[in-house]
Amino acid sequence: MPTRGSLKKGVKAPDFTLKVTPDQQVSLSDFKGQPVVLIFYPADFSPVCTDETAVFDKLLPKFKKYKAQLLGISVDNVWSHLAFARERNIQFPLLSDFHPKGEVAKTYNAYREEDGEAERALYLIDKNGNIAWSYISPVGVNPGAEEVLQTLEDLSK
């Protein structure tokens, strides 16, 4: 099903606060002054999502070179995220957009009403808090990280 399209370049990224553990929260504004990559994905433990998070995790040193913070976001609950991160050894935070379900994904035009999951969407937010690049991939396709890294490189010039 076609998506409404991602938020456009130059738009102020909507702030949010989501749980990373049952008693800890992370806000987008916590990373003010540094680039942030939002990785919206449909579900923990699904084949494409497992591959996608593995790609970003493997490339984490390249993102750190640009001082970029990666944040994975899905509608799964924090317990699922914790189990998924532990099993897959994911070294970046996975945030739960569980309740109210998909609220943050909706603000980023990255929620699939037809199945109640997040789109497979990537957002690069620059150090000023604006959308620098975005892409919504077909749900069954791992978009990889090359374009995000290229945009980070371009921003660093």
Residues annotated as part of the active site:
49
CA distances from 149 to 64, 95, 119, 133 (A): 11, 21, 20, 11
Beta strands in 5-80 (DSSP E): 17-21, 24-27, 36-40, 69-74
The H helix count followed by the E strand count for the chain is 5, 9
Q: How many residues does the chain have?
A: 157
What is the DSSP pairing of strand 94-96 with strand 111-112? unpaired
